[in-house]
Amino acid sequence: MITIGIVIFPDVEELDFIAPFEVLSYINKIQPNSTNILLVAPSLEPIQAFNGLRVLPDVTFVNCPKLDILLFPGGKGRTKWMKEPSVQTLIQVQQENLRFLASVCTGAFFLAEAGLLKGKKATTYHSAFDELSRYEITVIPSKIVRDGSIVTAGGVSSGLELGFYLLRELFGVSLAQEVATKIEYSIDVGLL
């Protein structure tokens, strides 16, 4: 089973984490026990996302188990949380075991702030390209950009494509396509 941690924080953008959550968990309906998705937060208190959705975390930054994938969504709250020492510690603790470190939209700034994107290629929300490039990153205007084991996804809706990209890498093209068919999503064949 692949264990995936999706970081959530106050004012996180809902679709940034819900889209990959849906795609990466849907595979369990086809091939049971493929993924275990954990919502990772500063505490176990409910998190209020940017548009008002309230979400209950599964684990905290401190008690998070070893993960295969660590994913950072973006949103207005990222400006505060990307600089929090507890987030940087989470990344450091998890980094050596990860198969993939990923982000959606402005979640790329969590990776940039940790120094993990310096000299690499990445993407983010279109209006934040210039800001991201200030971290000495080559910004590529694309839905998905992979540089080694780091995968970044562009704007808010690109969390869907990120989910399918990761499914393809973990479980192969046919299972990723089957998930896309089941949720009635037309995936860009270039991603598969």
Q: Quick one: pLDDT band at residue 187, thresholds 50, 70, 90?
A: confident
Whether 59 maps to a domain, the answer reads yes
DSSP string, 84-108: -HHHHHHHHHHHTT-SEEEEEGGGH
pLDDT given at position 191: 59
Domain housing 50: 2-182
**Catalytic residue from among 71, 91, 101, 105:** 105
Instruction: Write out pLDDT tens, residues 68-95.
Output: 999 999 999 999 999 999 999 999 999 9
Instruction: Note whether residue 131 is domain-resident.
Output: yes
DSSP count for the chain of H helices, then E strands? 7, 11
**Residues 7-12: what's their mean pLDDT?**
97
Whether 64 maps to a domain, the answer reads yes
Helix (H) or strand (E) holding 133: helix 129-133
The structure tokens listed for 107 are 């979640």
| C-alpha dist (Å) from residue 141 to 100, 129, 168, 173, 181 | 21, 8, 21, 24, 27
Is 189 a domain residue? no
CATH number, domain at 127? 3.40.50.880
Is 73 among the domain residues?
Answer: yes
The pLDDT of residue 190 is 63
- Identify whether 70 is part of a domain: yes
pLDDT in tens, 84-126: 999 999 999 999 899 999 999 999 999 999 999 999 999 999 9
* Tally of CA atoms within 13 A in the half-sphere of 174 that contains its CB: 2
- The pLDDT score that the predictor gives to residue 186 is 86
Residue 188 lies in a domain: no
Cα–Cα distance measured from residue 28 to residue 11, given in angstroms and rounded to the nearest whole number: 29
Question: Is 134 among the domain residues?
Answer: yes
105 a catalytic residue = yes
The total domain count for the chain is: 1
Q: Please, what's the b/e burial string for 153-164 (b: 16 or more CB within 10 A of its CB; e: otherwise)?
A: bbbbebbbbbbb
For 133-169, how does the pLDDT look when each residue is reduced to its tens digit (9 = 90+)? 999 999 999 999 999 999 999 988 899 999 999 999 9
SS3 at position 5: strand
Q: What is the mean pLDDT of the chain?
A: 95
